């Protein structure tokens, strides 16, 4: 068993590891000045002003996270590790983190002796070989954070540009009950579609930038992928670098989120909450939908580096649904150490992004859980070890980033404005761990799922779209839709990939981007607002909602109409929020 945390008590020693081969050159891609030493960077390195990622040389090794006590010393610590031949894969100078991927069993002991290092931990037990298959073919990992909207007998629709009767509406906008519920069309009519100078970061599984509803919206030059594939769970690396191209989204989750925020008003498919703003794709989710610590905090930091205004986070940091200070009872020392690092580094990253002007929005979670009194967690760890029943104390444990400081946490409602039965809640509404509600769709999905953009490649892989771009019978049953330019009929092939594809999903993952898009409209109306002021505008203008007579399976509703554990301060209201921001701006 790995000893999970090591306190530094010694000065730098000679580590004595053979230097791995790294190709020469000084290529960096985009961003502001690099947080690197004066030495030339290897080919394949990318950087922002605080985050540098390096080519992976040992893809099958354990991923270690090194905590630097003083973030100002991060570069010096990283240079010591690099100089000793350690295979560093990322350096984050804003929060004091270095990540290393290595197969060397002695790395932890060596790294702990480096001057400036306060802790070293990994999220994987070396004895763990990967998820086991159960009888249904599902892995031991938790379910994806959103649920496909499957319903039988619903025919696929191919709508062409201009087919909608609503002026300036895109073809499927009449299906977007969530936009109507939050008053997005009214906000757009009154104040426009948002300012192109406002940027929202989609910290997620990636964004398919070839999708016709997103291709002109995503700023590819500023986008980054911070994820290095882990072969033990992701399978063989598709790229020599084990880093997928930034233009791809293997799961579809991030593309769906992106469309809700800012799908273009272009005569195809759907229109987002803020179709006039720009998106930046900051990928932190792996091929299998896991959000590990290092990629996640690097993405949050990069959002601040890239002058992003809003960041949407529809995930929790794996492998712990709840990270507990000192670990939960029964956790191993290694597991406790990784949870301590998760709490510390996510906290540092959120504080840094907030202080640099990023409004942070996150999904509450889909576990029917109570953040105020979590009880037991049977899903963790969902990577790196065997899940077991853990007793969770709300005083010591956090679901991150949702319960982090400065984060607007969002629960999910259906078309009837009732809490979705899967949505997490809190029995302590004054704690600030649940702030607003937004449309995420009911658990039953079907036609009430949230329809948004989806990558055609992912649909093809699942057999929902054929090789010529037609929606298959299976796709029709899963609610897949296609929208094409004029001249492409309902049964026509799409060899030039001009059509956009759309899928219905449900979850708090779908609720959060409704709030992120509204925040972007608010900032467009008053660019001088701070993140705290944006949060206050959203809260003050939310439509308050009283507790229902019938409680959720997650627990009773605590609080009153103005603030409760199901809806926070209420359902986000884009029209009222934008109006308030405009009045405040004068």
**E strands along 161-230, which residues?**
199-204, 224-225
- What secondary structure letter does DSSP report for 208? -
Mean local confidence (pLDDT), 67-85: 97
The contacts of residue 111 (CB under 8 Å, 6+ apart) are 6, 64, 66, 81, 86, 100, 117, 120
Q: In the structure, what pLDDT confidence band is assigned to residue 41 with cuts at 50, 70 and 90? A: low
The contacts of residue 533 (CB under 8 Å, 6+ apart) are none
Residues 108, 158, single domain; the answer is: no
Residues 79, 182, single domain; the answer is: no
Residues 92, 223, single domain; the answer is: no
Residues 492, 343, single domain; the answer is: yes
Q: Which is catalytic among the residues 104, 170, 253, 305?
A: 253
Length of the chain: 586
pLDDT of residue 43: 55
Relative to beta strand 224-225, strand 278-283 is: parallel
Residues 89, 162, single domain; the answer is: no
- What secondary structure letter does DSSP report for 243? -
Residue among 372, 374, 338, 360 at smallest CA distance from 404 = 360
* DSSP assignment of 530-553: -HHHHHHHHHHHSB--PPPSSPBT
Residues 163, 75, single domain; the answer is: no
Could you tell me the two tokens for 559? Answer: 């609080």
Residues 248, 350, single domain; the answer is: yes
Q: Which is catalytic among the residues 104, 195, 204, 234?
A: 204
For 323-356, write each residue's pLDDT tens digit.
999 999 999 999 999 999 999 999 999 999 999 9
Q: What is the CATH number of the domain that holds 488?
A: 3.40.50.200
Q: Is 80 contained in some domain?
A: yes
Nearest-angstrom CA–CA distance, 374 and 387: 16
466: containing domain: 147-585
pLDDT of residue 487: 85
Mean local confidence (pLDDT), 107-126: 95
Q: In the structure, what pLDDT confidence band is assigned to residue 578 with cuts at 50, 70 and 90? A: very high
The contacts of residue 83 (CB under 8 Å, 6+ apart) are none
Residue among 146, 82, 11, 199 at smallest CA distance from 420 = 146
Residue labelled with tokens 């982090």: 404
Dihedral (C-alpha) 384, 228, 221, 516: value to the nearest 10 degrees? -10
Q: Does the pLDDT value for residue 167 go beyond 80? A: no
* DSSP assignment of 73-136: GHHHHHHHHHHTT--EEEEETTTTEEEEEE--TTHHHHHHTSTTEEEEEESS-TT--SPPP-TT
For 184-232, write each residue's pLDDT tens digit.
999 999 999 999 999 999 999 999 999 999 999 999 999 999 998 888 8
For 533-565, write each residue's pLDDT tens digit.
999 999 999 999 999 999 999 999 999 999 999
pLDDT of residue 39: 44
User: Is 253 a catalytic site residue?
Assistant: yes
Q: In the structure, what pLDDT confidence band is assigned to residue 158 with cuts at 50, 70 and 90? A: low
Residue 333: how many CB atoms within 10 A of its CB?
15
pLDDT of residue 42: 55
What 3-state DSSP class applies to 76?
helix
pLDDT of residue 509: 97
Residues 241, 359, single domain; the answer is: yes
Please give the tally of structural domains in the chain: 2
For 430-457, write each residue's pLDDT tens digit.
999 999 999 999 999 899 999 999 999 9
Q: What is the pTM of this model?
A: 0.89
Nearest-angstrom CA–CA distance, 250 and 230: 14
Nearest-angstrom CA–CA distance, 411 and 422: 10
Mean local confidence (pLDDT), 574-578: 98
Burial letters 57-87, b for 16+ CB under 10 A, else e: bbbebbbbbbbbbebebbbbbbbbbbebebb
Of 105, 122, 139, the position where a domain reaches its end is 122
**By mean pLDDT, which of 7-16, 250-259, 281-290, 517-526 is the weakest?**
7-16
- The strand pairing partners of 279, in sequence order, are 200, 218
Q: Which is catalytic among the residues 90, 483, 509, 512?
A: 509
User: Is 90 a catalytic site residue?
Assistant: no
Between 161 and 568, name the one with better pLDDT. 568
pLDDT of residue 337: 97
Contact 285, 57 (CB under 8 A): no
- What secondary structure letter does DSSP report for 419? B
Q: Does the pLDDT value for residue 101 go beyond 90? A: yes
Residues 115, 151, single domain; the answer is: no
Residues 202, 111, single domain; the answer is: no
pLDDT of residue 154: 35
For 258-299, write each residue's pLDDT tens digit.
999 999 999 999 999 999 999 999 999 998 899 999 999 999
Residue 563: how many CB atoms within 10 A of its CB?
17
Please state, rounded to an integer, the average pLDDT across all residues of the chain: 87
Q: Does the pLDDT value for residue 27 go beyond 70? A: no
């Amino acid at each position: 068993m790995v000893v999970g945390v090591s306190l530094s008590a010694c000065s730098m020693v000679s580590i004595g590891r053979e230097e791995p081969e790294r190709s020469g050159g000084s290529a960096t891609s985009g961003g502001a000045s690099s947080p690197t030493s004066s030495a030339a960077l290897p080919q394949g390195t990318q950087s922002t002003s605080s985050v540098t990622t390096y080519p992976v040389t040992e893809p099958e090794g354990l991923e270690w996270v090194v905590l630097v006590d003083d973030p100002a010393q991060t570069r010096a610590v990283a240079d010591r590790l690099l100089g000793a031949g350690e295979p560093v894969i990322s350096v984050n100078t804003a929060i004091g983190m270095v990540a290393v991927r290595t197969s060397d069993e002695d790395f932890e002991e060596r790294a702990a002796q480096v001057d400036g290092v306060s802790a070293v931990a990994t999220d994987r037990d070396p004895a763990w070989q990967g998820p086991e298959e159960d009888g249904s073919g599902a892995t031991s990992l938790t379910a994806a954070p959103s649920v496909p909207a499957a319903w039988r007998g619903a025919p696929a629709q191919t709508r062409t540009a201009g087919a909608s009767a609503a002026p300036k509406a895109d073809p499927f906008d009449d299906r977007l009950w969530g936009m109507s519920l939050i008053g997005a069309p009214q906000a757009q009519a009154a104040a426009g579609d948002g300012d192109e100078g406002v940027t929202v970061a989609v910290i997620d599984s990636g964004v398919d930038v070839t999708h016709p509803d997103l291709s002109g919206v995503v700023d590819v030059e500023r986008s980054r992928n911070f994820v290095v594939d882990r072969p033990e769970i992701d399978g063989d690396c598709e790229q020599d670098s084990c880093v997928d191209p930034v233009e791809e989204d293997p799961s579809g989750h991030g593309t769906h989120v992106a469309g809700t925020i800012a799908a273009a008003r272009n005569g195809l498919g759907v229109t987002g909450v803020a179709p006039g703003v720009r998106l930046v794709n900051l990928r932190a989710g792996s091929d299998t939908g896991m959000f590990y610590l290092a990629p996640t905090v690097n993405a949050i930091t990069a959002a601040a580096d890239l002058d992003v205004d809003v960041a949407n986070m529809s995930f929790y940091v794996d492998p712990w649904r709840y990270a507990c200070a000192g670990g939960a009872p029964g956790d191993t020392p290694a597991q406790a150490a990784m949870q301590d690092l998760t709490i510390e580094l996510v906290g540092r990253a959120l504080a840094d992004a907030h202080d640099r002007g990023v409004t942070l929005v996150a999904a509450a979670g889909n576990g029917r859980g109570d953040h105020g009194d979590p009880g037991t967690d049977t899903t963790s760890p969902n990577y790196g070890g065997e899940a077991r029943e853990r007793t969770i104390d709300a005083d010591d444990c956090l679901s991150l980033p949702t319960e982090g400081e400065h984060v607007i946490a969002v629960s999910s409602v259906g078309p009837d404005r009732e809490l979705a039965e899967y949505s997490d809640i809190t029995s302590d509404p004054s704690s600030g761990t649940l702030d607003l509600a937004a449309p995420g769709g009911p658990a039953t999905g079907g036609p009430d799922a949230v329809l948004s953009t989806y990558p055609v490649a992912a649909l093809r892989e699942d057999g929902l779209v054929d090789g010529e771009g037609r929606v298959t019978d299976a796709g029709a049953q899963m609610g897949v839709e296609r929208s094409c330019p004029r001249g492409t009929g309902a049964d026509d092939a799409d060899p030039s990939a001009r059509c956009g594809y759309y899928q219905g999903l449900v979850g708090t993952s779908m609720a959060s981007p409704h709030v992120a898009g509204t925040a972007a409209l608010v900032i467009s109306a008053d660019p001088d607002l701070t993140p705290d002021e944006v949060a206050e505008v959203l809260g003050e203008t939310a439509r308050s909602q009283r507790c229902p007579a019938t409680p959720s399976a997650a627990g009773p509703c605590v609080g009153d109409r103005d603030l409760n554990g199901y809806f926070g301060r209420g359902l986000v209201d884009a029209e009222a929020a934008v109006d308030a921001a405009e009045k405040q701006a004068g």
